[in-house]
Amino acid sequence: MSERVLFPRTAARRSGHLQVDDLHRIYWEQIGKSGGIPVVFLHGGPGSGISEAHRRFFDPETFDVVLFDQRGTGRSAPLAELRGNTTQDLITDIERLREHFGIEQWIVFGGSWGSTLALAYGEAHPERCLGFVLRGIFLGTEREVDWFLHGMGQFFPEAERRFVGFLPEQERGDLLAHYLRRLVAEDPEIHQPAADCWAGYEAACSSLLPLPAIGGEEPQRALSLARLEAHYFANRMFLEPGQLLAQLDRIRHLPAVIVQGRYDVICPISTAAQLAAAWPEAKFEIVPDAGHSAMEPGIARSLIEAMESIRQTIRP
């Protein structure tokens, strides 16, 4: 159980909201040691939000960690809002948070979509980064989006049947467009069932073995996850084709650890291997008995070890 691997439960030292534009207010919280090594935590999705469990990857006697709900997610407001919600907006928000806390540089920690955002942020602001811990690599390519929509069913056919079968037969030729049309509908009787089905599909495919936390999502979290993921997928993650690998030289001089589950079906290991090949200076840790979820024991252990590795690089 990952419960035995993670650091003890800890309360947020501080929390609040930051108004980042005329529409969006993002929720943030700070944990750990005041004056410790700064870290920013980037959650997955887009749209999944932070949880108390995410605090437990970090030694509270060593790190000073900022966690936040990205636009439209969790306790940020407005919930599931697509206006003003792009990768570039999120990069700007990270910088606003850094300035808000008076942090000069920090370690960037992100998994799944959080690894995408971490790379995009780092390449935009390399001078603000101490290093990277990246998990379940997603580079935001059309191939990866196509795999999510059409490939995961090779391993989880029952989940795919539910996901595809939710739509009328005549709409199954373009799953993304027809899910997105429902997810952006104002009527909860239209958007919520689609969101529940989308979130359930992802949850069913996220771990090698079933985890206690894997199951039905809260309706609001399912909506933000599904609506924002579909929005970002439809807009190619607001990235240029091949952008993250093409600009990798901007951060290759910084320490990095890549943690990847061998049997990750949501973000297959081939993508992590591609990143590792382009970034040979990074440590590439393959967890042999894990899928995608950060809560799997092997993944959680490797993430904690990765943070210690980066700490030793920064402060021997």
- Known catalytic residues are 112, 264, 292
**Residue 39 exposure: Cα atoms within 13 Å on the Cβ side:** 31
Element containing residue 225 per DSSP (H, E): helix 219-234
- Residues 74 and 197: their CA atoms lie apart, in Å, by 19
**Under 8 Å CB-to-CB from 193, ≥6 apart: which residues?**
166, 182
CB atoms within 10 A of CB 200: 20
CB atoms within 10 A of CB 270: 13
CB atoms within 10 A of CB 281: 11
**Contact indicator for 247, 123 with CB cutoff of 8 Å:** yes
Query: Long-range contacts made by residues 144-150, C-beta under 8 angstroms, separation at least 24?
Result: 144/267, 144/271, 145/176, 145/233, 145/236, 145/237, 147/268, 148/233, 148/266, 149/175, 149/176, 149/233, 150/175
- 72 token code pair: 């439209």
